[in-house]
Structures are given as structure tokens and as C-alpha cells.
Amino acid sequence: MLLRRLSEAAGVSSQETEIRNLIKAEANKLGAEVKTDALGNVLAYKQGRKDGPTIMVAAHMDEVGLMVVGVEDSGLLRFKPIGGIDRRVLVAKQVLVGPDKIPGVIGSKPIHLQKRDERNTPFQWQELYIDIGAKDKAEAEKLVPLGTTAIFATAFQQLSEEIVMGKALDDRVGCNVLLELLADVYDCNLVCAFTVQEEVGLRGAGVAAYAVDPDAALVIEGTTASDVPDVPEHGHATSVGKGPALTIMDRTSIPAKPLVEKLQRVAEKENIPTQFRRATTGGTDAGKIQLTKGGIPVAGISVPCRYIHSPASIASLSDIQATIRLVKGVLQAF
């Protein structure tokens, strides 16, 4: 399964080499013209009619992760987060460090040695470390230079006919959608932009949009689904299994209303279930794309994912397929 390979590939923000190489290989197989820019974005072009509009569809390939910033005399690795990670979920989680994917585990001060107040508060970043089994600082530094990144050691699994679990579904589900788009040809000129460094400030998207200068853009994301116990229904940002979520506003952008309405018309015509993203927190590459050059009309389409930015997320295959159908329908409408 393509999504499995996308999910398990390493690609922490700024060190996206492995996931980039995978995406380039898949895009080349599909007959796209593939370019990589100076920042590391992958731009895959599919030519349409000469007089057709240029539409950019973007998904970020980077994932949240950890960066090694120090080594103790004992050989334990100190680290900092790259992107937004809840440190409460980290203790005892397995990780893979560096391009050689050295196995390790995130450790902390044992609970029986903690003071009462320490047990009631989350560990601070300086209280956590990665243990790779090194005997001392010299051995650890030989294996793991400072600046090396680590990913969660999560194997992709299909939990049921519809539900899958894996790391980095934000936004490898979007990358999966873009690769499916490249299998077809459209009247419009399609540019699929697999962007870098979204998790640390939407950095790649602005560069990609400046180079492409499209007539309109769609951003495909894996977004938070909070349809879990103890969260009232009105607090569900999105719900898994109810179709792709359309954005009407978030922290970084207000999508172009005509483009959102176009998505709604296509969804209704093709009988594709959709929902609205009922939260305005967080942002996507749309925030940077919208403000590039003279301004670019943009809209966001999200695949609901539970537990994003954690070692394991949950998504629905039916939501992913519905997203593919919706985006293909809109591209054909152009």
C-alpha cells in the first residue's frame, strides 16, 4: 500500500530526504515532469491545455519529530521538538534516530524517584532523553552527530477494512492524494507541490507558490479529528469517516469563497460526503500560498485524523478516497 510506505518514511522538517526520494520516484512513474527547488520542495507538473489555467495542489511532506541537541557523559541523547508535539505522550516511546534509523527509547526520571509535585506535572523537555544503548558520550557522538533527527518507530497498520493507523498521517495522507491526482490528465495545467518545513512555519509553501504562480491553489491536509469520548459534539473539529473537511477559516487563512463553493457544488454533483472543519485554530500551507506575489485564491480540503502530531494517528480510507474523488472532480471542472 502506497500510504504505508509514505507513512513509514522519515521526513522530519528540514531533513525530508527519504520521503522526498520516495515521492519523486512515484511521481516519475506517473509520467510527471518532476523538479526539486533549492528549499527541497518537489514540484510535479502535468500539462493540460495550453490555454488552460494553472492549478497548484499542495501537501506537505515533512513531519513533526525530534532533533538531538546534546549528549550526556552516559551516552544519553538530549533533544528538542521540531514542530508541535505534546511532551506528555513521549515517555517510553520508541524512536528511530538518524538516516541509519538507530533504535532508541525516550526515557525520564523513574516515577519512584519523583517528588510528589513532579508526578502531577508533565516532564519538561530538559527532563527527557533518548537512550540508544550507547556506553558513553564518545560512542553516542560517533553514532549520532548533533543535529540528527529522530522519528517515531511506528509501523503502519490497517486496523479494519476502513481504518488505518500510522505516524505522520499529517500530511502523508495529503501526499497520497496528490500522487493519485498525477495518474490522470486534466484540461487545466496541474502542479502538485509536495512542500517542506510546513510544521515549522509553512516555509516551503511560499517558495513553491512563488515559483509556480498558479491561478488558484488547493491545499490537502491531514487535520485534527476530536470525535472522542468526553468531547461534546460541537467540539469535534472533524469526524473520522464523514468525508473530507472543507475549511472556511483557520488561524492563517480565510479561503476564497468562490473556490469553497465550487468544491461544494462538485461534492453535491458527485455525491461525495463532506463536512466543514469546525475549528479555527491551527494553520496550513494555505496561509503562505494565499499571500504570495499578488495573491492567490486558495481553498483547503482536509482528511480527518485522530491524534495528529503523536506517535500514531488514525484515519479512514473512505475519507481519503472521497478526498481524491473531490479534488479530481474540481480539477476536471477547471
Residue 77: what residue type?
L
> Which residue in the list 26, 63, 180, 198 is annotated as catalytic?
198
CA distances from 68 to 9, 96, 279 (A): 19, 12, 33
Residue 236: what residue type?
H
Give me the phi and psi of 235, to 5 degrees please. Answer: -95, 0
CA angle, 18 then 282 then 90, to 5°:
60
Q: Closest by alpha carbon to 31, among 188, 172, 190, 187?
A: 190
> Is 48 strand, coil or helix?
coil
* Sequence-ordered list of residues with C-beta below 8 angstroms from that of 66, at least 6 positions apart, any chain: 12, 79, 80, 81, 82, 85, 95, 130, 149, 150, 151
CA distances from 147 to 12, 69, 135, 150 (A): 12, 6, 20, 10
Whether a cis peptide bond, with omega within 30° of 0, leads into 171 is yes
- Annotated catalytic residue 161: no
List the grid coordinates of 280.
479555527
- Cα–Cα distance between 263 and 327 in angstroms, integer? 8
List the grid coordinates of 56.
497548484
Looking at the DSSP bridge assignments, the partners of residue 129 are 107
* Sequence-ordered list of residues with C-beta below 8 angstroms from that of 163, at least 6 positions apart, any chain: 240, 314, 315, 316, 317
Residues with active-site annotation: 198
